[in-house]
Every structure is written in C-alpha cells, then in structure tokens.
Structure 1
C-alpha cells in the first residue's frame, strides 16, 4: 500500500543555519504514519482503551539532502503487515524528484504492559503481506 503526505517547512522547523533540524524528519514521517492509521479507519484511542498500542521498535534513517524554510515536501510511504504483530514502513521525504530523507520503520502492536499482540483484525484485513 502507498500513501503521500504533504509537509510545509516553517521557520520553527529549522536550525541556526536555516536547514531543517535533523530530528524533525522523524516528526514528519510520524505524522504521515498517523495519517495512514486514520485513513484506514483505525481509532487508536479505542485501541488503547482495549489495552492495545503501536510501538516503534526500529528506525533506520538516511539523511540524503537538505530542506530549508519555505520548502514544500512530500512524505511518501509504502507499508505492509509482516506476520501477525509487525507493521513495516518504507518512508521517504522528497522535494519534487529529490529524495532528501529515507527511513525504514518497524511498528509492533503491543499491550500497554509491553507484551506483543496481534494487529487488530480490521487493520490486518486491509494490509497484505508481500510475497516471500
């Protein structure tokens, strides 16, 4: 599955050199993942009430370019379930055709006590494991 999420760079996103502060890319890709969850009709507050949450267990990131104040970027995400518990995301932040950030993210479904649990059935039915 694929998803696109727009990001506009504001002054508050930049460091003293006027370049997007490195940690903000993690915020941008988080916003895109949150948008995916919402668009798939998953209510995370209701999940939490049922003792289930998503936990990010791995992020592998590459910084490939720079974004600056005023830039308009796009977070492009492909994602799929991996087994019964994991949700995998390949994300990139681009300015037009130029990819300036790339990340691989693993989310795991867990109880609030930290025990792995199955992805909700409604979500699992919408996500397809890629061929092995």
Structure 2
C-alpha cells in the first residue's frame, strides 16, 4: 500500500480537536478518513483547482473504494501530517495512497488507499478527467498512467 516511486507526496497539516476523539480520548477511527479527504481537497487546491470550480465544470470526485490500516492512536491536540500521493491516473479515476503521521514523534498512525472516480455533477455518471487536471496530476509526481480499470 505504500507509494513505491519514492517521490515526495503532498502533505496537509491539521490538529486533533476534542470533536475528533471518542470517550477514550483517542481519534475515532472514521475521522482518519475525514483527515485524508481534506488532504485530497487541499492537494487539488495546491494544483490550482477548487471543488467549487470543478463542480461548475460539471465534475465531481467521489470515492469509489477505500482501504485503511490503523497502526497507532492519535490523541487530543496532536499535530498531524496527512499525505496525499496520486499513484495512478486513469481516464476517469485517480488512485491515492495516503498516510497520517503524528508530527511530534514521526509516528505513522494510519495509511490508506483510495480510488476516486470522476463523475458528472448532474448525472453522477463517469466522465473523463479534464486534460488540464490530468496534466497537473501527472506533472505532480504520479506513479503510473493507465487507461484500464475505470
């Protein structure tokens, strides 16, 4: 599940708030998925695209499938670094490998893989990723390009 091309992935920093934790004072497992979603959104912004702009072009990204592994707990006030590396670009989908790290001690807390599909905003049917966005992801250090498996 780890990125195999050795390129530096995009990272988004965030902090654990009380609302992110469960009764035991640790981050509730589903909130790691939220942190990763935010990192993917910030990755788009970093490339010069916004969700609002893309929706205006009749394009939305939806999570098709995901898997996650949890290694250690994050706790209230921890500062996190959440990576978002695109390892595969298809005609109508992107595959991300993501990790959540605690900054203080560089501990890997969670890692996951996400297949994100491009769909039309009006019908939710698959659509091609616009060339400018594809080019931005390809220039941003992806692992592979493929036209299969969409």
Same fold, TM-score > 0.5, yes or no: yes
1:72 to partner: Cα distance: 1.1
What is the match of residue 79 of structure 1?
A: 86
Report the number of matched residues.
Answer: 132
Superposition RMSD in Å? 1.7
Distance of aligned partners of 1:131 and 1:79 in 2 relative to their CA distance in 1, 3 Å threshold = closer
Residues 86, 143 of structure 2: 8 Å contact kept: no
What is the match of residue 108 of structure 1?
A: 117
1:131 to partner: Cα distance: 4.4
How far apart, in 2, do the equivalents of 1:58 and 1:114 lie?
16
Structure (1/2) with the larger strand percentage:
1
How far apart, in 2, do the equivalents of 1:121 and 1:131 lie?
16
Residues 55, 109 of structure 1: 8 Å contact kept: yes
1:31 to partner: Cα distance: 0.7
Extract unaligned runs of 5+ from structure 2.
Answer: 1-6, 146-150
Candidates 36, 41, 53, aligned match of 1:29: 36
Kindly report which structure 2 residues correspond to 1:1-132, keeping only aligned pairs within 5 A, or say none. Answer: 2-95=9-102, 96-112=105-121, 113-128=123-138, 130-131=143-144
**CA-to-partner distance for each residue in 1:20-62, whole Å, 9 max, x for gaps?**
1111111100110110011111132232223211111011111
Extract unaligned runs of 5+ from structure 1.
Answer: none
Distance of aligned partners of 1:5 and 1:119 in 2 relative to their CA distance in 1, 3 Å threshold = same
Q: TM-score, normalised by structure 1?
A: 0.91
Q: TM-score, normalised by structure 2?
A: 0.81
